[in-house]
Amino acid sequence: MDCWNSGNRFRAPPERLHPTRCSGRLRENRRMSGSAHLASGSKVPGHPPYPPLRTAHWRGLDIIGRGANRVCTRNPESPLTLLKFELPDDQRPPARGRLRLARWWARHFPRSGENHTELAACRYLRRRWGIEVQRHFSLCERIQATPWGDALVCRAVFDDDGQLARSVFACLQAPPQAGEGLVDALCAAVDDLEQWLLQRCIPLFDLNAGNLVVVHETNGLRLVCVDAKSVLRGKEIIPVSYWSKSLLRRKIRRRAQRLRQRIRASLATPGPLAEPASGH
Ligand SMILES: Nc1ncnc2c1ncn2[C@@H]1O[C@H](COP(=O)(O)OP(=O)(O)O)[C@@H](O)[C@H]1O
Ligand SMILES: [Mg+2]
């Protein structure tokens, strides 16, 4: 299970569990240095802590991973697809301000929720760039009513050994191989994704370790985005980075650089992991 904060790993003081309480500057510093995350027991800097999911199952389904808003599980009806469910509020990090309003809105208008947003983003990518988009995006198929709730059905990404691809986050938590080789290979894969996005001006701004899974290929690693929401919906009040190509490119470069820094910082940090990621 690739839970960014599974189990009871996070026993941080309240201010660490409420990143939105920090001032903007402090929050940014923490994000860059990863101190909040490291202090709360995770080896991978830069992720906000989430309320723990205490088991490897969610409503009886096998969990593959979780993000801030959704849990991703196996699909009992098809091994080639996965299901994503929007988590109830008490299983998400606390929200204030615009985020809180967005959640309230999505509760009343589900079409503005995460699953519908990601489905719309995938359809847009597919329409605009055709089949080639599958090199770096795992596409979603539909929203489906299931016995466990409404789910987004998305294609699973497999590694060359036939196993589900692990997220960059999981690789940083429990690296498959030691040393510089992995850092270089992951950073090269980030470079490759960055160039690919820049060439097409695709506004994938949420370039974080949990949104990218790693596929091994003969000539290196390839990153595949499993969370395309940010292609359509950003965090800016006035979304200028979506309107201007030069701002878009600058932002992609910044985000890719930040991800490379996180990869280097995580794999350079000596010492045991708080708790190895189990399964995926
Ligand atoms: N298509 C997929 N293939 C493999 N793993 C996936 C896939 N989609 C999601 N995951 C796993 O689920 C986790 C959370 O999914 P994500 O869509 O990022 O949720 P959120 O919207 O909460 O950020 C990811 O970090 C990844 O580990
Ligand atoms: Mg995500």
Residues 95 and 182 in one domain: no
CA distance 71 to 209: 16
Residue at 275 is within a domain:
no
Residues 94 and 135 in one domain: yes
Residues 255 and 141 in one domain: no
**pLDDT value, residue 57:** 85
Amino acid at 210: G
For residue 170, give the ligand 1 atom closest to its CA: 27
CA distance 256 to 262: 10
SS3 assignment, position 41: coil
- Give pLDDT tens digits for 267-280: 886 544 443 333 33
Residues 151 and 201 in one domain: no
The domain boundary residue, chosen from 155, 182, 213 = 155
By most ligand atoms within 8 Å of CB, the mutation choice from 138, 172, 226, 232 for ligand 1 is 226
The CB-side HSE value for 51 (13 A sphere, CA atoms) comes to 12
Q: For residue 67, how far is its CA from the centre of ligand 2 (angstroms)? A: 5
Residue at 277 is within a domain:
no
- The boundaries of the domain holding residue 230 are 166-268
Residues 48 and 147 in one domain: yes
SS3 assignment, position 146: strand
**Domains in the chain, number:** 2
Q: Whose CA is nearest to atom 27 of ligand 1?
A: 65
Residue at 109 is within a domain:
yes
For residue 4, give the ligand 1 atom closest to its CA: 25
Residues within 5 Å of ion ligand 2, judged at the Cβ atom: 67, 211, 227
Query: Which ligand number lies closest to the CA of residue 115?
Result: 1
**pLDDT value, residue 11:** 28
**pLDDT value, residue 54:** 62
Residues 148 and 21 in one domain: yes
Residues 78 and 216 in one domain: no
**pLDDT value, residue 169:** 93
Query: Which ligand number lies closest to the CA of residue 209?
Result: 1
- Give pLDDT tens digits for 120-140: 999 999 999 999 999 999 999
Ordered alpha helix ranges (H), the chain: 14-17, 24-33, 35-39, 97-108, 114-129, 168-173, 180-200, 240-243, 245-268
Query: Which ligand number lies closest to the CA of residue 69?
Result: 1
Residues 97 and 176 in one domain: no
CB environment 129-160: b (16+ within 10 A), e (fewer): eeeebeebbbbbeebeebeeebbbbbbbbebe
Please identify every stretch of the chain with a pLDDT value under 50, giving residue numbers as ranges. 3-42, 271-280
Residues 244 and 150 in one domain: no
Residues 22 and 105 in one domain: yes
Residue at 278 is within a domain:
no
**pLDDT value, residue 238:** 77
The domain boundary residue, chosen from 102, 129, 155 = 155
Q: For residue 211, how far is its CA from the centre of ligand 2 (angstroms)? A: 5
